[in-house]
Amino acid sequence: QSDCLACRNFYDDGVCKFECPAMKRYNSITYSWETNPDGKYAYGATCVKNCPEHLLKDNGACVRSCPPETKAVNGECVPCDGPCPKTCQGSAPVHSGNIDSFKDCTIIEGSLTILEQSFNGFQQVYRNFSFGPHYEEMHPDKLEVFSTLKEVTGFIN
């Protein structure tokens, strides 16, 4: 276990182990979970006391990004309270061709422009008098997609 060149599972301070020491351990006297002072995070095939700064802590492992239904808070993945934050880019104008891209967004970076033409269908005309794609009319019920929105960093027009 300790005179190895490589470990099958995890390397922990000179010893090969099946898994890294858990971050929490069960106390059968108090019937509760307690922090394990010897707990370590899995970082690749190595057990480490702390994850490198560019990674997040999640369930005893160092990860690049948090799994679904969780968000990063102080370098650790925690369950979301309600819908998880989702940042989307603003768009001018909002139309039937892009409205669905705002599904589940909680933050819009930039601005939102909703024109009367958004509901009637339109085609953008560029400065050089060429035409953009034609967008079908958008039903006002489609604006329900913004029900999860909490913040717009720009303006709403």
pLDDT, tens digit, 9 for 90 and up, residues 29-49? 999 999 999 999 999 999 999
Range of the domain at 97: 87-152
pLDDT at residue 107 tops 80: yes
Return the pLDDT at 124.
Answer: 80
User: Which of 79, 111, 136 is the endpoint of a domain?
Assistant: 79
The verdict on 74 and 14 lying in the same domain is yes
pLDDT, tens digit, 9 for 90 and up, residues 58-89? 999 999 999 988 999 999 999 998 778 888 99
Question: Cα(39)–Cα(24) distance, rounded to whole angstroms?
Answer: 7
For tokens 């005309």, the residue is 125
Please state the pTM of the whole predicted model.
Answer: 0.60
Number of domains, the chain: 2
Return the pLDDT at 149.
Answer: 93
The verdict on 91 and 68 lying in the same domain is no
pLDDT band at 125; cut points 50, 70, 90: confident
Closest CA to 92 of 132, 150, 129, 149: 132
Return the pLDDT at 11.
Answer: 94
Return the pLDDT at 3.
Answer: 66
Domain containing residue 40: CATH number: 2.10.220.10
| Average pLDDT taken over every residue of the chain | 92
Question: Cα(13)–Cα(61) distance, rounded to whole angstroms?
Answer: 17
Return the pLDDT at 4.
Answer: 64
124 within some domain = yes
SS3 content of the chain, % helix, strand, coil (to 5): 10, 40, 50
pLDDT at residue 123 tops 90: no
Return the pLDDT at 1.
Answer: 61
The verdict on 74 and 99 lying in the same domain is no
User: In the numeric block, which tokens belong to residue 65?
Assistant: 């990004």
Tell me whether the omega of the peptide bond preceding residue 140 falls within 30 degrees of 0, making it cis. Answer: no
Return the pLDDT at 139.
Answer: 95
Return the pLDDT at 61.
Answer: 98
